[in-house]
Amino acid sequence: ETHGISFRIQISVKELLDTDVLLKLLFHLPVNYPSALPDISVNSDQLTRSQCMDVKDKLLEQAKKHLSEPMVHNLILWVQQHLKDVIKQSARVCNEKTTLSKGTEDGVWMLLLHLDHMRAKAKYVKTVEKWASNLRLTGRLMFMGKIILILLQGDRSSIKEYLVLQKTSKVDVDSSGKKCKEKMMSVLCETEVQSQHKRFQTFEVKEYSTREELQKEFETAGLTTLFSELVPLLLK
């Protein structure tokens, strides 16, 4: 009732050389769908991150044409018919960008979340670790006193997909022990990783006993400004 629904669809599409491309599409339909556009994530082992982002952008363009009417079926048909064209266009754009570095093209994104609490901590932590692993995200799940922070780095589409999972999955339990969705999460920061930021190589769960220890983690990652702007507000 409050978050809408999410579902995956896997389709196989004939590509340029008549090889099958397996597309994994994640749709999140908000409560006011179809009056509002769905969130869409696109993944495929046969396509680059950049190509997946191009497919997603084209799907969202099509979605705008069907606003206020059910559209998922139309979007699936459209991508089956037009995937070749999108990939061709993506290749042309990519060739025009040869002067740019690969990092600039792909764009690594960062997400910082604040959770109010975890009642079923062990299960919750295991779920977050699984999502990070499946989406190839790195970073930290950080505990310091009552403060719980999740810092993630990775492909922007994976960051978006993680957010959908975090908002729509039953990750915790309520006061009566029933499984429930995360309703007390806030997004503190979502931005592209800059040159001064250090890339995390793994995803780790860490506990900190003092504010200084937590601050040092942020400083080591080149995120001193982020810490000074956001975290002290949570410590009050």
- Domain of residue 207, CATH code: 3.30.70.100
State how many domains the chain has.
2
Whole-number pLDDT of residue 90 = 60
Task: Answer whether residue 99 is part of any domain.
Answer: no
Choose one of 42, 60, 94: the last residue of a domain: 94
> Does residue 221 share a domain with residue 127?
yes
Query: Residue 98 pLDDT more than 70?
Result: no
Of 154 and 88, which is predicted with more confidence?
154
Task: Answer whether residue 100 is part of any domain.
Answer: no
Query: Residue 18 pLDDT more than 70?
Result: no
Of 13 and 207, which is predicted with more confidence?
207
Per-residue pLDDT band at 177 (split at 50, 70, 90)? confident
Q: What percentage of the chain carries pLDDT values higher than 70?
A: 90
Of 202 and 14, which is predicted with more confidence?
202
Of 141 and 188, which is predicted with more confidence?
141
CA distance 220 to 188: 19
CATH (domain of 39): 3.10.110.10
Cα end-to-end span (Å), the chain: 33
Whole-number pLDDT of residue 92 = 54
Whole-number pLDDT of residue 83 = 87
Mean pLDDT estimate for the chain: 85
- Cβ-Cβ contacts under 8 Å for 149 (sequence gap 6 or more): 112, 113, 114, 115, 140, 141, 142, 188, 231
> Does residue 63 share a domain with residue 148?
no
Per-residue pLDDT band at 40 (split at 50, 70, 90)? very high
Helix (H, G, I), strand (E, B) or coil at 89: helix
> Does residue 227 share a domain with residue 167?
yes
CA distance 123 to 197: 31
Query: Residue 88 pLDDT more than 80?
Result: no
Per-residue pLDDT band at 132 (split at 50, 70, 90)? very high
Per-residue pLDDT band at 16 (split at 50, 70, 90)? low
Least confident of 16-25, 75-84, 98-107, 194-203: 98-107
Task: Answer whether residue 223 is part of any domain.
Answer: yes
CB 159 within 8 A of CB 79: no
> Does residue 188 share a domain with residue 128?
yes
Q: Mean per-residue pLDDT for 139-168?
A: 92
Per-residue pLDDT band at 105 (split at 50, 70, 90)? very low
> Does residue 69 share a domain with residue 154?
no
> Does residue 202 share a domain with residue 148?
yes
Range of 89's domain?
A: 5-94
> Does residue 231 share a domain with residue 114?
yes
Q: Mean per-residue pLDDT for 55-62?
A: 92
Query: Residue 101 pLDDT more than 80?
Result: no
> Does residue 143 share a domain with residue 66?
no
Q: Would you put residue 188 in left (φ > 0), alpha (ψ -120 to 50) or beta? A: alpha
